Amino acid sequence: DGEDSKVLHIGCWTHCKRLWVDALPSDRTAMDIIDPIGDMFRNEDLFRTMKLSGEQIKEKRLKLTRPILERIHHKVVMMMQDTKLMANELMRKAVNYTINQWKSLKNILKDGSAEISNNLCEQRMKPVKLLLKNCMNIGSEDAAGNSAFIFSLIESCKLNDIAPQDYLKHLFECILHGKDCDKKVLLPCFYKSEC
Average pLDDT, the chain: 86
Look at residue 101 and tell me whether its pLDDT is greater than 60: yes
Domain membership of residue 102 (yes or no) is yes
Look at residue 4 and tell me whether its pLDDT is greater than 80: no
**Which tens digit of pLDDT belongs to each residue from 50-89?**
999 999 999 999 999 999 999 999 999 999 999 999 999 9
Task: Calculate the dihedral angle through the C-alpha atoms of 13, 15, 18, 22, rounding to the nearest 10 degrees.
Answer: -130
Domain membership of residue 104 (yes or no) is yes
Q: Which of 69, 91, 109 is the last residue in one of the domains? A: 109
Domain membership of residue 51 (yes or no) is yes
pLDDT at 124: 65
Domain membership of residue 5 (yes or no) is no
Q: CA 100 from chain center: how many Å? A: 16
pLDDT band at 98 (very low <50, low <70, confident <90, very high): very high
Domain membership of residue 21 (yes or no) is yes
Instruction: For residues 195 and 193, give the distance between their C-alpha atoms in angstroms, rounded to a whole number.
Output: 5
Q: Could you list the residue range(s) of the whole structural domain that residue 69 is in?
A: 13-109
pLDDT at 137: 66
pLDDT at 156: 84
Do 31 and 82 fall within a single domain?
yes
Domain membership of residue 18 (yes or no) is yes
Domain membership of residue 30 (yes or no) is yes
